[in-house]
Structure 1
Amino acid sequence: MSDIHDKPTSLDAALATQIHAARLRGAYSVETLAALARVDAELITALENGAQIADVGARDRIMDVLGLRPDGHRYPARSVDPNLRSQG
């Protein structure tokens, strides 16, 4: 097995950085973001660590909650109940 499958690509690393930064900006905990995007919390952690995610729909839901687009540009996040956000 080669290391190429173990290391994130530069695109995956850039996406990981964007998702992590957007989650912190929005004051979402991993658990809250996972609930809002209807995914497992482990998927959020994997994305933030640069892992490739086979479920494109799940990745897109996460990005939608965070106000990110697949082309890397930000757009206003959808309206979310501020009571669901956490402080960390």
Structure 2
Amino acid sequence: MAKGLSILLSACCATLMGAAASVAATSPAPATIPVQHFDLTKLTCAQMLDADVLDRSSVMMFYWGYVAGKAGATAFDTTGMEAKTAR
């Protein structure tokens, strides 16, 4: 499950990083932020693209934390994470 999820999220990330940068630079902050729930076992690229920038960032951080927890990692390299996410 984690490998398939990794492939799905990695495939979405290149598009999302560019979209997130342009949206963050041009979008005003919403007055209220609706609560979103994401099931990583069912998440699609379309859902990631439809999510706002903060939700996409939160999903990616949760995913990296999940992967690190499964691997027993207690430290991380932000450059390595960025490179793997951009693939």
The structure with the largest alpha-carbon Rg is 2
Which has the higher relative contact order, 1 or 2, with Cα contacts under 8 A spaced 6 or more apart? 2
Higher helix share: 2
